[in-house]
Amino acid sequence: MSKQTFLKGALLLIIAGLITRIFGFVNRIVTARILGEEGVGIYMMALPTLVLVFTITQVGLPIAIAKRISELETSGKEELIKPTLVFSLWVTGVMSIVTGVGLWFISPFIADVLLQDGRVTMVLRAIIPAIPVIAVSSVIKGYFQGRQNMKPQAYTQVLEQVVRIGFIFIFTPPLLAYGLVTAAAGVMIGAVIGEIVSLVCMIYYFRKDYNPAVADEKTQSIARPLLNIALPASGNRAIGSSTYFLEPIVVAQGLTLFGYTTIEVSQLYGQLTGFILPLLMMPAFFTHGLSTALIPALSEAHASGDRGLVNHRVQQAIRLSLLSGGFATILLLIHPTSILSLLYNTTSGDEMLKLMAPFFLLHYMQSPLQAALQALDFAKEAMMNSLFGNLLKYSILLLLTTSIGFSGVVIAMVLGVVLVTGLHMLTMYRHRYHIMTGKQAGAFLVLLSLSFAVGYVTTNALPGSPIALFLSIATVSLIYIPLSVMLGLVKKDEWRLFVKK
């Protein structure tokens, strides 16, 4: 398979991410309507534990593999690719067995004691078969990212979602007859099946692409450079996953102390993490695609000493991430009630959505900034930024949930986004890398202001209905896209690539 340029590789992942996001929303809509707020809450309370388990299993190797293989190809040492992959598969295989067995035995403690809801045990155990599958898949994805070939990941990403939503749509409703917890576990089983199908497809692409070269290197010489990248990256991801794991625990404990019942905690947490955050994370398919393609592209430029190209790629990723996030922010600010009602058949949380949306503009920058820091060998500093920001976030979360209730959860989440992104930006500037020019920042503010004004006026002039919502979105699009080009926020070569594709 052919290697793609940074923009073409990112575009492939963005298109796949968009399709995946659409299927994901259908998935969430079906799940929300079948399980309700309480069932979604049970599912979402289990999810952070699983993310932490997957992070421990991977040990930061996917990022390290992508960066290392890119460097090996640049320096003409392709013969070291095979032992690098063998070592990575061995490590993730052992870790997947250890974490899977550990999760089976510790699930009741996590559910009963930490999450204050014993119903979560079955949901936690339902995902265990996916752990070794995701471990192997992550190594292969790292290989293709390092080769700057994003096609296999793009294709399998879409396939996984199709399989997952098909299973949930067909099998979850009958499982409700056996109880809400069984149905929530069924949603997890759907994720397992999706991952298995995705891995089979990924192995097929890998067998077609991979031509091993013989190397006489010792394991130690392979492991050291790989782990030098993997361990800081793993630390960074472990901090994020650990804090994500702690989130429902702190929320459950704090709100229980404040006076909420177990069912009320599940409903409110399900509302926030099952309805509000997915909407705020809509642009994630765009920022994730850019960030994934950014690591090998920056690693290659950094290895060849081209600082100008590094700055150009970083600014490009940040600029395009903000453009996608800005459009989503405008829509969420103008139509929070209509969007919630249309997608989830509820209006609960519309004020929460309006409050959080502007601050999540910073979150859309966080993923490419973190990818840039890892690619430029500043993974340890990125890890410390995440550690400090999240420690402060959870200190505030515990303080506010016990004193003002659920509003404290929202405030703490917003502060966490601001802190971590701000620290990443300061780190880049300290090392004299520029993420955005003053002219670009001014143009972006003009774009947001004018597009929001047009959308707001259009919305007030139309009666409230789904048709009015789509007309308003179309109007904002007709202003936002041409104005982005006119203000120079989308370059001509970028626009031609998007139009061509």
Q: Where are the domains of the chain?
A: 6-436, 437-501
Mean pLDDT, range 58-76, rounded to an integer = 74
8-state DSSP, 377: T
The reported pLDDT for the residue numbered 395 is 86
Mean pLDDT, range 122-138, rounded to an integer = 85
Compute the distance between CA of residue 453 and CA of residue 455 in angstroms, rounded to an integer: 5
pTM for this prediction = 0.67
- For residue range 9-35, what is the model confidence (pLDDT) as tens digits? 666 667 776 777 777 767 777 777 777
8-state DSSP, 462: S
- Helix%, strand%, coil% for the chain, nearest 5: 85, 0, 15
The reported pLDDT for the residue numbered 237 is 65
Contact by Cβ (8 Å): 147, 73: yes
Question: Burial letters for 24-60: b for 16+ Cβ neighbours within 10 Å, e otherwise?
Answer: bbebbbbbbebbebbbbbbbbbbbbbbbbbbbbbbbb
User: How many helices and strands in the chain, by DSSP H and E?
Assistant: 20, 0
- For residue range 329-370, what is the model confidence (pLDDT) as tens digits? 998 888 888 888 877 777 777 888 888 999 999 998 988 898
The reported pLDDT for the residue numbered 1 is 46
Q: 429: which 2 tokens?
A: 């500037």
8-state DSSP, 178: G
Averaged pLDDT score across all residues of the chain? 79
Compute the distance between CA of residue 75 and CA of residue 94 in angstroms, rounded to an integer: 31
The reported pLDDT for the residue numbered 426 is 94
- For residue range 241-270, what is the model confidence (pLDDT) as tens digits? 677 677 777 888 888 888 888 777 777 877
- Given the structure tokens 């429902």, which residue do they identify? 248
Q: 244: which 2 tokens?
A: 């994500």
Q: Which candidate, 30, 184, 47, places its Cα nearest to that of 119? A: 184
Contact by Cβ (8 Å): 333, 472: no
Rounded-to-10 torsion of CA 71, 75, 78, 83: -60
The reported pLDDT for the residue numbered 501 is 46
Q: For residue 59, is it left (φ>0), alpha (ψ between -120 and 50) or beta?
A: left
- For residue range 188-242, what is the model confidence (pLDDT) as tens digits? 788 888 888 888 888 888 887 766 554 445 444 566 666 666 666 666 666 666 7
Cβ burial of 211 (10 Å; 0-12, 13-18, 19+) is exposed
Residue 29 CA: distances (Å) to CA of 18, 26, 188, 263: 16, 5, 15, 21
Compute the distance between CA of residue 369 and CA of residue 367 in angstroms, rounded to an integer: 5
Measured in whole angstroms, the distance separating CA 64 from the mean position of its chain's CA atoms is 18
